[in-house]
Amino acid sequence: MSALGVRLDPVPQISISDSIGLARLAEERGYGSVWVPEGWGVDSLTRLAAFAVSTQNVRLATGILPVFARTPALVAMSAAGMDLVSGRRFTLGLGVGHRGSVEGGHGVPFRNPVTRVRETVEIVRRFLRGEPVSHQGKVFSVNSGSLGYDREFSVPIYLAALGPRMVELAGEVADGVLLNWAAPAYVETALESLRRGARRAGRDPGEIDVACYVRVAVTDDPERVKAPLDRQILRYAGMEYYRNFFASTGFEEEMRAVSRYLAEGDEAKAAASVSEEMRRQLAVFGDPEFCCQEIDKRRGLGIRTPVVAPFAAGDALDSYRSAIEAFSS
């Protein structure tokens, strides 16, 4: 996979036709991959299918499919279908999602996330190899399942991971890991967890890709991006797991303030608790030259596939275009 990707969020301010235009622009600029998360009422596979018939070479990745919302058989069917539609350009990104959306939105108990991911990867790989699948695990029981194809689908699998257990699991079983909101100081910790998991499985850590979402806003007025960036950080910090993650990666003081103000129902003060240091560690914003330098610094830390994740500073479509155009692979 080429050493630069882009995340295209299905945000309401950008139409599907404009999103297709952004995917084409990324391909023209030499990006190796386009990643689509699920959100705003849109599943990632539908949007990626539209990209597949509108592009030629760029890889198309789910970033991510939550494993609690789909059975392994359905994940495998979707992966095989997307690989066929895209001409073997599909990458399957998997993750656990968040307890609130899993239990509140899907009505599914959030239990044994690491085990569920491990078993999902094992079962999906066997389906994609064209094998009849029987599996008796702690989470799933499958008897004589099959996709019905007489061919193998070579679909790379990436795991979204924050904590050490999931990063280690990626080192054990995945083709790549997808990090998120990774401050530079955290990257080495994550890489060590990845290496530990790979060694435990007898794998070469160098063969496992390290991808990472990097929030980017290209602008000649850095001050105007701070409010939208603070809101985006707060959206994640509103979830306990991410709040704990931020605290563990150097932003404990900020998260104490966020927790206090959220408990008081004051989102404005919670957003204002994001410090300048936190902004600069978690996102890249400034003129194109500065942004390119910052992406290169992250490559130097060991992130092989930075995934540019544009965030809106003003008009959403213009923000995405400016971020994509700032880089070439």
The pLDDT assigned to 1 comes to 41
**33 has pLDDT over 70:** yes
Helices vs. strands in the chain: H and E counts, helices first: 14, 12
More confident residue, 22 or 38: 22
CA 60 to chain centre: 12
The pLDDT assigned to 2 comes to 52
Q: How far apart are CA 210 and CA 174, in angstroms?
A: 11
In the chain, the domains with their CATH numbers are 5-219+283-325 (3.20.20.30), 221-282 (no CATH)
Handedness of CA 91, 92, 94, 97 (dihedral sign): positive
Grade residue 209 by pLDDT with cuts at 50, 70 and 90.
very high
Report which of 214, 135, 133, 205 is spatially closest to residue 175, judged by C-alpha positions. 205
Helix (H) or strand (E) holding 142: strand 141-145
Mean pLDDT score, 270-286: 97
**Both structure tokens of 78:** 């979707």
Give pLDDT tens digits for 47-96.
999 999 999 999 999 999 999 999 999 999 999 999 999 999 999 999 99
Residues 6+ apart with CB under 8 A from 270: 234, 237, 257, 258, 261, 262
Q: What share of the chain is helix, strand, coil (3-state, %, to 5)?
A: 50, 20, 30
Give pLDDT tens digits for 211-248.
999 999 999 999 999 999 999 999 999 999 999 999 99
Let me know the angle formed at the C-alpha of 99 by 94 and 103, rounded to the nearest 5 degrees: 105
Is-contact 189 199, C-beta < 8 A? no
Handedness of CA 119, 123, 128, 131 (dihedral sign): positive
Q: How far apart are CA 158 and CA 311, in angstroms?
A: 23
Report which of 79, 76, 77 is spatially closest to residue 62, judged by C-alpha positions. 79
Give this prediction's pTM: 0.96
CA 28 to chain centre: 22
Report which of 178, 125, 182 is spatially closest to residue 155, judged by C-alpha positions. 125
Grade residue 27 by pLDDT with cuts at 50, 70 and 90.
very high
3-state DSSP call for residue 188?
Answer: helix
Helices assigned H by DSSP within 201-239: 223-237
Span between the terminal Cα atoms of the chain, in Å: 11
Is-contact 261 267, C-beta < 8 A? yes
Q: What percent of the chain has pLDDT over 70?
A: 99
Q: What percent of the chain has pLDDT over 90?
A: 90
Residues 6+ apart with CB under 8 A from 101: 66
Lowest mean pLDDT among 149-153, 186-190, 208-212: 149-153
Residue 240: C-alpha distances to residues 17, 99, 168, 172, 235 (Å)? 35, 9, 22, 27, 11
**Both structure tokens of 80:** 């095989």
Mean pLDDT score, 37-55: 91
Q: How far apart are CA 173 and CA 123, in angstroms?
A: 12
Let me know the angle formed at the C-alpha of 108 by 238 and 90, rounded to the nearest 5 degrees: 80
